[in-house]
Structure 1
Amino acid sequence: MSTSAISNPPAQSKPSFDDGEHGEGHHITGGIPKLALGAIGVCYGDIGTSPLYAMKEVFIGHHKLAVDPLHIFGVLSLIFWSLLLVVTLKYIFIILRADNKGEGGSLALLAMIQRRTGGGRWGASLVMLGVLATALFFGDCMITPAISVLSAVEGLVVVESGFAPFVLPISVGILIALFMIQSRGTDMIGRFFGPIMTVYFIVLAGLGILSIVERPDILWAMNPMWAWRFIEHDPKLAFLALGSVVLALTGAEALYADMGHFGRRPIQAAWVWLVFPALLLNYAGQAALLLHTPSAVENPFFLMAHEDWRLPLVILATAATVIASQAVITGAFSVVQQAVQLGLMPRLKIEHTSASALGQIYVPTVNWALMIMVGLLVLTFRESSNLAAAYGIAVTGTMFITTCMLGVLVFRVWNWPKWVAVPALTLFLIVDSLYLASNLTKVPDGGWVPLLVALVAFTLLTTWAKGRQLMIARMKEAAMPIKVFVSSAANSATRVAGTAVFMTSTPDGVPHALLHNLKHNKVLHERVILLTVKIMDVPYVEEEIRCRLEDLGEGFHRLVVKYGFMQEPDVPAALARLTGCGPAFKMMDTSFFLARQTLLPSARPGMAIWREKLFAWMLRNAESAMEFFRLPTNRVVELGSQVEI
């Protein structure tokens, strides 16, 4: 019933009512230190757990490197400059400024560009890029919990080799427990995320410093010449090594997607003052250990710690990976909510797990699907090293797409001068392209997994968006002008007491449910509301500009209720606050009429028959509009019709 600002970008002309563009969005309360602590717990879990496996995979992954000074210095130099250029410069200081009224992420960025530019000749391409980034994100959501938890539990083998048979069952058990508690909400658990991750990052830094003291010369690796010497010595091996070096950057996209929870400045402060220094010190410490003891390459993260402290470190690292996994799962729920609201996915059951915490939601379908896929990944790949081969393609693909969308933003929206924009974008595109190309070499070794997931997700997203567009167009073809209907039906039909609300996806024409009701029941209510819920391309629409009411005469009114793509529609609440169309609404005197379409695939131009059948299946399994719009269950009447697409 909602209309999509993504698939139907607004025209350049001024709208007849305020669409929320000039509103302030939602407000984030709290000082920067408090919010930064929360950001450490939620935003930095993924990238913070990368030291568990990144350095190890560079040297003993699918493209092994000699553990000698040239390669150790070269790899550390690549990690340092990648964190500096990609995460710090590109994401922390540039992309975080691209907020859609406080919200970030690929879909929020896409919606903002569409709104500010009106789409233009690049509109369709931008939509495809945004949808592809969303599809790749789902592939990343499956691998992150699997590789993070598995790599942490593998630390038990460093403590005692006899633990090896228990690594897999313990990892699966932790992951199942994590998904099982999602329905209870993470509000209470989330309060401990920040402090635990702060301790974790302090431990990362401490371990690194203790190791660097043994070989302080490792700090010379910050010189980019070491990266160049590595590349010059063996260009092919250096290119392949980028596929593992990028593991140190995983989670960068999450910083942008989670911006709406904490704001830009707290996320920046957390990175600059704690996370970035801790990561650099830990990677430098692992490199120093490898200089001193090359055999430690089997698991340099845990072997940095003294033998007596390894078990507590495994426990702390496991807690950190659970937190990182929780952040990814929560991110998946948020992205699904945005996609549903923007018309890219069918309605799904979305539950709010906190009355006060915005964004605390639970999507059962997504939760159980993720649990099954993550469990299959762990049981299939069995070791974090094997999973590392599948990891990175989705991440680098999303990074590359974000840079492409950033290019449109800096030229069309921010209007940067070319002498600034061109060099910056060229640098980012070259780096992202190299990382993506290197990761594509992993496809035969497991990289096909996230690509397959992304392909399935992309097909579902585009099929739903296109099918919905076709269905609305077909229904418009048979629609009757409202003025003609009101003048002809108002005096001919019997009027009965009460209010009838007819839900319609388009704010013009006569709803099919109204035509069917009049045809079969031959009555009209005293007050008839033609209601369209419209999802705007801004995250939040303020209460005072939510409703637009139009009097059509003879007791008919057209009502458009607007929500942001981060808000949950609540039709009864909107009606309760409505004035200007007669007496206050009473739910016991109000009937809600919904049209349920049965799709008939046909050979008409639009989509392939198999996609039409897929769209019909998705429509049948979508959540009822009654639940999605919070309509009272005992006041809803559904009227069916058949539509050819």
Structure 2
Amino acid sequence: MSNAQIPLQAPFSSARLHVITLGALGVVFGDIGTSPLYALKESFSPEHGIPFSSNAVMGIISMLFWAIMIVVTLKYIYLVMRADNNGEGGVLALMALALRTAKSGSPWAKWLMMLGVFGACMFYGDVVITPAISVLSAVEGLGIATPKLANFIIPLTVAIIIMLFLIQRHGTSIVGKLFGPVMLVWFVSLGLLGAYNIAKAPEILAAVNPYYAIQFVIEHAQLAFVVLGSVVLVLTGVEALYADMGHFGVRPIRFAWLYTVMPSLMLCYFGQGANLIINPAAVSNPFYLMVPDALLLPMVILSTFATVIASQAVISGAFSLTSQAILLGFVPRMRILHTSEDERGQIYVPVINWMLMVLVVAVVLAFKKSDNLAAAYGVAVTATMLITTMLLAVVMRTLWKWHPLVVAVIIGAIFLIDFGFFAANLMKIPDGGWFTILLGVITFFLLITWYSGRMLLRERSQDEGIPLEPFIDGLLAHPPHRVDGTAVFLTGNVATVPVAMLHNLKHNRILHKRVFFLKISIWDIPFVDDNKRLTLKELGGEVYLLRAAFGFKEAPDVNTVMNLTNAQFGHEFDLMDTSFFLARDTIVPSNLPGMWLWREKLFAWMYANGAKPSDFFHIPINRVVELGTKVEI
């Protein structure tokens, strides 16, 4: 059984639980696990104008502590992770859950859809910023360990990032085995460093008391609001806890967080605070300046490995999210390569990989310092957190049927916290926050344009289409010449005759002895059981209507459909005697009712440059017959 198929509440043995927990350390917690490199440093940024004092240290450490406890532990670990779509998590899975009780096509359904899609788009902003800020903040330790190497920080960062993207095509199956152990060493190191520094100033432990956070907010009301925008950096990667739920299950993720990750992070943050009380000059880089000199260079190397792993996790997440978005109809078809024969969740999307590489390198060269990137980071994280809360409210009320008062109290409290973080980060827009907003808005616009264009295309085909069953009845009453073999016509609408068949009859004047109209659908669940995947209806004269369903985390594959049809219905397929007919539409923008003309031109360009259906559905290229047609929208 692959990781992606592990049920949420699987009765793990103790040994199995520890093995899966180790895997979760390497995949799920890389992003949030590397936040100590820059979170506290940014909270004390000189630009905030916070007067440095022991009370300020206590207040900010208290804010960090309670942000982690409330948002990560209470909201995500114990509440959000209850919302699973057949074991899968993430903002698109949560959107699919929220849409289940909404009437299709209603304004409410469209609003929920747009909310979920925008959350996914903001995740792409996170994917661009994470490798840049993580690797850059790790390599910046060189400037402290060996000041003479300060000029090599940016070139080395760019080299590491390019190398990271170059190895993506080989998959993570081999290096993935190293992720867990390296991250375990990383978290243990964080905890030991933190404990070492806490021993020097144990009074920092009093910051567990929320009084210090409240006092700091009261005494520095305006500054505290600004600091909130930096405190949120301790929450980076929190969406990964939910998004990767299907790979490992709830229990291993909770186990890893409660017994390894959270204690290590808390010790590290408190240790940084203790060191600041003793040595205020360490505020320039609280993480590296709490490390003993003898361990500084090894820690720079370890942190670089950890940040590469954190970057790998979000890049893999971008590939998975793109695959889901393609199958849900929000992104044009792209070439998707499966990099592992055992793990179906391990995929590689070349177009996304190279686009991300260019963007990440450009971000490093443009922002130059992790301090500058921190300003751009928080907006994407807090926007996604806020959207998750809103979609969760819908699921709690409509799907779980919780009492409205309970939903209002819980969601109201969480929303207030999330909105506070989001509002604080809006102040960062002039300093770099504009970048993730711009990236998210552009991506959102492209996704919605593609979705709207597909809906227009479907409407045109329905309006102009010929009803299928009456047409087949008439065709069989007066059949053309029938030839040996099997014809499979891929169709997006089972109610009308595929354009490819009309062209074939018009130009070739033949009908194969066995004909299948194949409709491949994507359901709003991650995976579909094989025994529920196919339905077959005979229309007479060895003409069949075949429907195949796939989940939004599966790869639609015609070969799978053919094999299952043989196993379940006894229809054997000889590929050398089977032809697959596809319609290759050419989109013609027009002044017909629909989108603005320039958006229609954009959709037409996206449609023309998408992957061919034959490649996407893994149809043998030498068995494909493509027939072109023009469609006005």
Q: Distance in 1 between matches of 2:449 and 2:157?
A: 36
Where does the alignment leave 5 or more consecutive residues of structure 1 unmatched? 1-24
How far 1:415 sits from its partner (Å)? Answer: 1.7
Q: Distance in 2 between matches of 1:117 and 1:608?
A: 28
Q: Is the contact between residue 319 and residue 348 of structure 2 (CA under 8 Å) also seen in structure 1?
A: yes
1:173-221 per-position Cα deviation (integer Å, ceiling 9, x unaligned): 1110000000001111011111110110011011111111111111111
Which amino acid in structure 2 is aligned with residue 462 of structure 1? I
Residue 193 of structure 1: aligned partner = 179
Point out the more displaced range, 595-604 or 64-73: 64-73
How far 1:582 sits from its partner (Å)? Answer: 6.9
Question: TM-score, normalization: structure 1?
Answer: 0.95
How far 1:521 sits from its partner (Å)? Answer: 1.0
Q: Is the contact between residue 533 and residue 561 of structure 1 (CA under 8 Å) also seen in structure 2?
A: yes
Residue 497 of structure 1: aligned partner = 484
365, 376, 396: which one aligns with 1:410: 396
Residue 615 of structure 1: aligned partner = 603
Q: Is the contact between residue 27 and residue 180 of structure 2 (CA under 8 Å) also seen in structure 1?
A: yes
518, 523, 527: which one aligns with 1:540: 527
Q: Distance in 2 between matches of 1:42 and 1:64?
A: 37
Which amino acid in structure 2 is aligned with residue 197 of structure 1? M
How far 1:484 sits from its partner (Å)? Answer: 2.1
Point out the more displaced range, 463-472 or 29-38: 29-38
2:6 is equivalent to residue 27 of structure 1? yes
141, 152, 158: which one aligns with 1:155: 141
2:55 is equivalent to residue 67 of structure 1? no
- Map 1:1-40 → 2, pairs under 5 A: 26-27=5-6, 31-40=16-25
Identity of aligned residues (%): 49
Q: Distance in 1 between matches of 2:560 and 2:387?
A: 39
Q: Distance in 1 between matches of 2:236 and 2:90?
A: 15
RMSD value, Cα: 1.3
- Map 1:422-441 → 2, pairs under 5 A: 422-441=408-427
Which amino acid in structure 2 is aligned with residue 208 of structure 1? G
Q: Distance in 2 between matches of 1:442 and 1:417?
A: 38
- Map 1:219-258 → 2, pairs under 5 A: 219-258=205-244
1:456-514 per-position Cα deviation (integer Å, ceiling 9, x unaligned): 11011101111001101101111111222112223241111111000001122111111
Residue 93 of structure 2: aligned partner = 108
Q: 1:61 to 1:145 in 2, by over 3 A?
A: farther
Q: What count of residue pairs does the alignment treat as equivalent?
A: 621
Point out the more displaced range, 64-73 or 592-601: 64-73
538, 545, 565: which one aligns with 1:558: 545
Q: Is the contact between residue 531 and residue 558 of structure 1 (CA under 8 Å) also seen in structure 2?
A: yes
- Map 1:207-218 → 2, pairs under 5 A: 207-218=193-204
2:578 is equivalent to residue 593 of structure 1? no
1:363-416 per-position Cα deviation (integer Å, ceiling 9, x unaligned): 000000000000000011111011111111010000000000011011111122
Q: Is the contact between residue 390 and residue 450 of structure 1 (CA under 8 Å) also seen in structure 2?
A: yes
2:78 is equivalent to residue 99 of structure 1? no
Where does the alignment leave 5 or more consecutive residues of structure 2 unmatched? none
577, 591, 595: which one aligns with 1:603: 591
Residue 390 of structure 1: aligned partner = 376
How far 1:357 sits from its partner (Å)? Answer: 1.5
Q: Distance in 2 between matches of 1:264 and 1:117?
A: 27
Which amino acid in structure 1 is aligned with residue 487 of structure 2? A
Q: Distance in 2 between matches of 1:62 and 1:149?
A: 23
Q: Is the contact between residue 59 and residue 66 of structure 1 (CA under 8 Å) also seen in structure 2?
A: no
Residue 11 of structure 1: aligned partner = none
Q: Distance in 2 between matches of 1:70 and 1:220?
A: 11
Q: Is the contact between residue 164 and residue 308 of structure 2 (CA under 8 Å) also seen in structure 1?
A: yes
Which amino acid in structure 2 is aligned with residue 106 of structure 1? V
Residue 446 of structure 1: aligned partner = 432
Q: Is the contact between residue 6 and residue 248 of structure 2 (CA under 8 Å) also seen in structure 1?
A: no
Q: After the TM superposition, which segments of 4 or more aligned residues of structure 1 sit over 6 Å from their partners?
A: none
Residue 112 of structure 2: aligned partner = 126
- Map 1:460-475 → 2, pairs under 5 A: 460-475=446-461
Which amino acid in structure 2 is aligned with residue 178 of structure 1? L
Specify the SS of the correspondent of 1:637: strand
Which amino acid in structure 2 is aligned with residue 557 of structure 1? Y
Specify the SS of the correspondent of 1:631: coil
Specify the SS of the correspondent of 2:47: coil
153, 157, 172: which one aligns with 1:171: 157
2:27 is equivalent to residue 48 of structure 1? no
